[in-house]
Amino acid sequence: MSRVTPPTPEAVRNSRGDDAVRRWIALTNGDVAALLVGAALVLSMLTWFSWRMVQNVSGDRVVEAQTSAPLHVH
């Protein structure tokens, strides 16, 4: 049977530091990065959309979506 040795006060202080670092890594390495990518995608799409919309409604020429198929051909 093994005995569990209680941590020393110094070890507790160190582990607190480790937790903070681990927390920071988790935060910056994953979640915040994912959130930033998501926000960048949405902003890019909105910007691109606004640019195309201005082209379409202000000019004489309609810029068609570059799609292979017109959705409804009636």
Partner 1 sequence: MFGARDKARVASWHRWLGLGLTVPLAGWVVSAAVMMLVTMNAPNGLAGVYTLNPYNSVDVRLDEATVDPTAVLRKLATEHGIKRIYWLRLQSRGPHLWYVVKPTPYAQAMVFDARTGERLDPLADVLLQVVAGEALAGGRVAGLESATEYNRYYELDRVPVVRASIIGDQPATLIISRDEGRTLRRLNADSERFNWWYRTFHVNQLTDHIGLWTTLLFAAAFGVIALTLFGYMLFWWRRPGNASTALAARSRVLRQPSRNWHRKLGAVAGGVLALQLIVGAYLWISLGPLEDPFRGKASFSADWGAGFTTERSLDGPATVLARLSAVLPPSQKPVQAIEWRQLGEQDAWVVTSRMDEAPRVFAAATGVPIEALAPAVAGEIVRHEVVGKPSFIYAGTSPQLWMDLNRPVPTYQFRFDDPGRTDVYVAQNTGQIIQRRPFFWRMFGPFLAVHMFSFTGIQAVDVTFLALFQFAILGMIATGWRLQFPGTRDLREVRESDSPGASGSDA
- Identify the residue whose tokens are 């915040």: 32
* Residues in 4-63 at the binding interface with partner 1, rule: CB under 8 A: 19, 23, 26-27, 30-31, 34-35, 37-39, 41-42, 45-46, 48-49, 52-53, 56-57, 60-63
Q: CB–CB of 56/45 below 8 Å? A: no
Cβ-based neighbours of 39, under 8 Å, separated by 6 or more: none
Distance of closest approach, residue 64 Cβ to partner 1, in angstroms: 5
Structure tokens at 44: 């890019």
CB-nearer residue toward partner 1: 1 or 65: 65
Tokens of 64: 């068609």
Assigned token pair, 7:
């941590």
Which residue ranges make up the site for partner 1 (CB under 8 A)? 19, 23, 26-27, 30-31, 34-35, 37-39, 41-42, 45-46, 48-49, 52-53, 56-57, 60-74
